[in-house]
Amino acid sequence: MPSLFLRLLLRRFALLLGLYTILRLGFYWANYAVFQESTTGQAVWSFVYGLRFDIAGLLLLNLPFVLLSVVPSAERGWQGLVRGVYLTLNATGIALNLIDTQYFKFIGRRTSNELFTITGDIQRQAGQLAGHYWFLLIPFVLLFGLLWYCYPMPRPEAPAQPQPPTPRRWLRPGLEFVLVAGLTVLGIRGGLQLKPLRTGHAFVQTPPILGHVTLNSTFTFLKSLGYQPPERRLYFATPAALQAALAAHQPPARATTRPENVVVLLVESFASEYNGIENGGQGYTPFFDSLATQGLFFRQHYANGRRSIEALPAVLAGLPSLMESPFITSNFQTDELHGLGEILGRHGYATSVFHGAQNGTMGFNTFAGITGMQQYYGLQEYPGGAQSPDYDGHWGIFDEPYLQYFAQQLSRQPQPFFSTVFTLTSHEPFPVPAQYKSRFAPGQLPIHASIRYTDFALRQFFRTAAKQPWYRNTLFILLADHTSQTLRPDYQNTLGSYKTPLLLFHPGRKLPAANVQRITQHADIPATVLDYLGVPAQGHLLPFGYSAFDSTTTGRALFLSGGSYFLVHADFVTELTVDNRVRLYPYQNHQLPPTPLASPNPQKLQQYGDELKACVQFFLNGLADNSLYKNPAR
Label each residue of 371-419 as H, E or C: CCCCEEECHHHCCCHHHCCCECCCCEECHHHHHHHHHHHHCCCCCCEEE
pLDDT digits (tens, 9 = 90+) for 2-43: 778 888 899 999 999 999 999 999 999 999 888 887 889 999
**Distance between first and last Cα of the chain:** 67
Residue 634 has pLDDT above 50, yes or no: no
Query: Using 50, 70 and 90 to split pLDDT, how confident is the model at 276?
Result: very high
Q: Can you tell me the distance from the alpha carbon of 489 to that of 33, in angstroms, rounded to the nearest whole number?
A: 7
What kind of architecture, by CATH, is found in domain 258-538? Answer: 3-Layer(aba) Sandwich (3.40)
* pLDDT over threshold 60, residue 120: no
pLDDT digits (tens, 9 = 90+) for 427-462: 888 889 999 988 998 889 999 999 999 999 999 999
Q: Provide mean pLDDT across the span 235-256.
A: 83
How high is the pLDDT of residue 182? 86
Helix (H) or strand (E) holding 479: strand 474-480
Residues 6+ apart with CB under 8 A from 486: 33, 34, 105, 271, 273, 445, 492, 496, 497
pLDDT at residue 545 above 70?
yes
Separation CA 450–CA 334 (nearest Å)? 36
Look at residue 156 in the predicted model and tell me its pLDDT.
64
Percent of the chain surpassing pLDDT 70: 91
In the predicted structure, residue 121 carries a pLDDT above the cut 60: no
How far is residue 426 CA from its own chain's centroid? 17
pLDDT of residue 598: 93
The pLDDT of residue 633 is 47
- This prediction has a pTM of 0.79
pLDDT mean across residues, the chain: 89
Give the range among 89-93, 220-224, 287-291, 423-427 with minimum mean pLDDT: 220-224
User: In the prediction, which pLDDT does 254 show?
Assistant: 66
For residue 508, pLDDT beyond 70: yes
With a cut of 80, say whether residue 158 has pLDDT above it: no
- Estimate the share of the chain in helix, then strand, then coil, as percent rounded to the nearest 5: 50, 10, 40
* Confidence at residue 1, expressed as pLDDT on a 0 to 100 scale: 64
Where are the chain's structural domains? Answer: 4-157+164-225, 258-538
Residue 273 clears pLDDT 80, i.e. is over it: yes
DSSP character string of 299-359: SEEE-S-SSGGGHHHHHHH-----SSS-GGGSTTTTS----HHHHHHTTT-EEEEEE-BPT
Asked if omega into 207 is within 30° of 0 (cis), the reply is yes
Per-residue pLDDT, 167 = 57
Helix (H) or strand (E) run with residue 462 in it: helix 446-465
* CA–CA gap between residue 89 and residue 41 (Å, rounded): 33
Residue 161: exposure state from Cβ atoms within 10 A (0-12, 13-18, ≥19): exposed
More confident residue, 164 or 318: 318
The mean per-residue pLDDT over the stretch 512-538 comes to: 95
Identify the pLDDT of residue 4.
80
Phi, psi of 521 (to 5 degrees): -150, 165
Percent of the chain with pLDDT over 90: 66
Position 162 confidence tier, pLDDT thresholds 50, 70, 90: low
Between 614 and 395, whose confidence is greater? 614
Instruction: Please write down the long-range contacts of 114-120, taking CB distance under 8 Å and 24 or more positions apart.
Output: 114/307, 114/309, 114/325, 114/326, 114/329, 115/221, 116/225, 117/325, 117/326, 117/329, 118/309, 118/329, 118/361, 118/362, 120/358, 120/360, 120/361
Determine if the peptide bond prior to 429 is cis (ω within 30°): yes
Whether 171 shows a pLDDT value over 70: the answer reads no
What pLDDT is recorded for position 500? 98
Across the range 226-240, mean pLDDT stands at: 84
Q: According to the per-residue pLDDT averaged within each range, which of 47-51, 323-327, 329-333 is highest?
A: 47-51
pLDDT tier, 319 (very low <50, low <70, confident <90, very high otherwise): very high
Average pLDDT over residues 149-155: 88
User: DSSP assignment of 126-195, as one string?
Assistant: HHHHHHHTGGGHHHHHHHHHHHHHH---PPP-PPPPP----HHHHHHHHHHHHHHHHHHHHHHHTSSSSS
